[in-house]
Every structure is written in C-alpha cells, then in structure tokens.
Structure 1
C-alpha cells in the first residue's frame, strides 16, 4: 500500500472515530437490585456495540419511585414490577407507550449452606431456624411475593417473629450470606447462572405460590430525546440481552 493511500485511510479512520465519539452519549438508569448482575453483563455488550455509556444505580423499586417523583436525574427505569412504571407513566413521569416487560422474575428461598432444602420448601414448615430474611414488601416486589408465599402456606403468623427485613433483595441476600439469617427469599438471578445455583442451596419457589413478578422498563421523561436512552431500551428487546436475561433464570 502506497504512503498516500495509507494516509487517506488513516484520515478516514480518524474521522469515523471522531464522529462515533461525537454521537455516543450516556444514559442514567435506575435498576431494581434483583437485576444488577444481568444488567452489568448487558451493559458491557451495550457499550461495546453502541458506544454509549450506561450509568446504573441499583436499589428498591419503591424507593426509586419516590426519587423519580422528587426529580432524580434517571432517564430509564428497570423496575422489579409492572405497577410502578405504569403509575409513573400515568402520572406523566414516563413517556407514554414506552413501557414493556423486559423480564419475568423467579423467587427463590436461598441458604448459604449446601443441601439445605428439599423440593417442597418444607424447611419453612419445620421452622428450625432463627431468622428468615425477606425484602421490604412495601417497596420491593420480591419481598411482597415472599409474603404471598408465606400466606399461601399458612405460615405468616408462625414465622412473623423470625422475619428480618432488608431494604431490597440485595440486602436480603447479604443477611443470608453473612450468616445473620439462615435462609431468605431472594431473586433467583442473584444465586443462579447458566442452569445452576452458583453457591449454597435454594428452593426455586413455584410461580403459582405468588403473583407473577413481571418486571417492566420505562423511558422516563428526562430521557426523552436522548439517543442513548432509546438505544438501551431497544437493546433490551434484542437477542443478545435476551440470552443474558435467560441465563440468570428469568423468563421472557
């Protein structure tokens, strides 16, 4: 290759790189804590494929609702339920028509101990433990689902004194991992990858024991017109993101 041709190609590459960087943007995302591991994996692919930067904050869905209502700068909301994004859309905080279900969650009863469970959750009926961790059912949909399971099994009153409550499922998992609770209701995605429980043991709670945990995404008003925000929502509907979501035990 001649020197002039090489110089032209280098110049064109520089122009392309500069234009790509100029078009790249960033998006601030509020993410339900149960979805932290999948989102971090998706973010790596999203940033590599689009050039956009994803800035994520993880927490409880109910707490994010309050923060968004008070002007937090989030542009996309990945909630742990369907009702909170629907409320925000109805109240004008979300872009009408942008809401969709990105995952259906699975509840798991988890212990850091190996072989702690049978396949029926009988450990709950035996009650031979000091503490059972759940997420706050008022702000965390997985916590609400946990209370529905206990109620359906007729154990709400029997186990009430043993409950320890986390702000979200991330804190609930920490309670169990640290030994402050022998077992706890968490999102399966927190302890599962590629078809197996990654550590400890778990009872995967049958979906019939609680209301479906449908997790919806919403383009927030502050993200309207931001190409990075719109690109992320599109990316979540694509095959790469779907493969990651499934690998963590979610349904689509």
Structure 2
C-alpha cells in the first residue's frame, strides 16, 4: 500500500513538474512601444495581462514621434501605442503594422500648483502673469498640438512664443515634470497624469479642462507590428486591451474608451 502511494505521489509530482515546465516553455515576452502619456495605464494593463496569461510584456515609453522613428529604423517592437491615430495608420499603409484600432481618447488639462486656473483660467492665460507655461512639443506629441490649438484659439500661442514663455517638453511626461517641480508655473498636461494615485501632485493644485471643441480629439491608436516574432501573443495582448477589463483600467486613468 505504501509503495503504491509513493508511486502515485511520484507520478503526480512528475506530471505537475512536466506541466509547469511546459507552461514556462510556452511563456513568451513581447515589447510594446507606448506613448508617454499612457505610462501608468499601460503598466497596470500589463500587470493584469501577465497575471492572466503567464506571458511577459516590456514597455518602451516616449514621445509618439520618437517611437515611430525608432520603429521605422528597425527597433524590435511587437506593437505600437501612439498618442494619435496618424502615426500607426502610416505604418499600416506601409505594410509595417496591422490590426489598427483606437484604444483611448485623451483629455487635455491645464494644471498649476499655485495659480487658481480652476476658477480663472481664461484671465490667467490672457494676462500672462507667469514666467513659464509648459507644453509638449506639438510636432512630436499630440497633447502638445492640442495645447497649441487651445492657445491659438485665444490668439496667445505666438505671443507666448515671442515672449519666451513656453517651456517645451520633449514629451508629455517631461512637460508634467516641468509643472510638478515648479519650473513652470502652469502647463498643459494629460488628465490621466493627474488621475494617477501615485502622482506627486495627487490631491494638490488647480485644474482646468479646456472646452473639447477648442482642440482636435486626441484619439489614440494602436497596431501590431508585422515584424513581430510573437504574433499570437501580441494579438492576445491587444485583445485584452480591448476587453472590458482593459477598458475599465483605461477609464480609471482619465481616458474615454468610446
């Protein structure tokens, strides 16, 4: 009886070990290029997907334009999440990407640690009683273009450029740092950055949401890259992003998913 029990236990252990080895062998790692504004949402989505599938995802965060240039120069990414739709669509047209979809719509916010933009944004912007206004590079970051459009609608963009009052960030992440460190007295950031519970300014400062009609919708598009050596795993990750679980995380960080 004891021998039989030992044999059964041994067989079970061997079978369990074989299954574990099989799962480890099948686990794959993908690398995804992600627009800087989507950092926190992507990290939470990635952790949830890894827990569900056993696969791993690595992220490379940066300005959408810079990431596109890296992809076009052969960077080994498996998927691309831009802060606009034009760049991933460009890759699809060139045959370098597939399965394009809009994963989120961003919202622009004007934030200041000290200036009461929540009450007097229009007056503060018009008076220009500040040293620096931070905004992302409009040529590289869609949030920067949106900020430019908001200022142009008020005939302020060229004026502030001429006065040297615009502190231009390479990405929306750097722009956010300008404002949160006080190097710029106010700045146009992504609402998602302010929704981050780990943000250094969580619960602090003043926020104004520019009217949505003052800037082009910030539709953020993604696509799988055709050069990927793990297309099935990439497809699974993209499907998770589009699932209700993924959408709930995206909305949590201040985006619209409609």
Q: Normalising by the residue count of structure 1, what TM-score does the alignment of the two structures yield?
A: 0.92
**TM-fit CA distance, 1:115:** 4.6
Q: Distance in 2 between matches of 1:119 and 1:39?
A: 33
Q: Give the unaligned 5+ runs of structure 2.
A: none
Pick the structure with greater CA Rg: 2
- 2:191 aligns with one of 184, 188, 191: 188
Alignment of 1:92-107 (within 5 A): 92-95=95-98, 98-107=99-108
More deviation, 5-14/158-167: 5-14
Q: Give the unaligned 5+ runs of structure 1.
A: none
Instruction: Answer yes or no: is 1:175 the counterpart of 2:166.
Output: no
Q: Distance in 1 between matches of 2:93 and 2:221?
A: 14
Q: Distance in 1 between matches of 2:119 and 2:17?
A: 60
Q: Aligned Cα RMSD in Å?
A: 2.1
Alignment of 1:127-142 (within 5 A): 127-142=128-143
Alignment of 1:1-252 (within 5 A): 2-95=5-98, 98-113=99-114, 115-118=116-119, 121-160=122-161, 161=163, 162-193=165-196, 198=202, 199-223=204-228, 225-252=230-257
Q: Normalising by the residue count of structure 2, what TM-score does the alignment of the two structures yield?
A: 0.90
More deviation, 10-19/82-91: 10-19
**TM-fit CA distance, 1:5:** 3.8
**TM-fit CA distance, 1:193:** 4.2
After the TM superposition, list the runs of 4 or more consecutive aligned residues in structure 1 that deviate by more than 4 angstroms. Answer: none
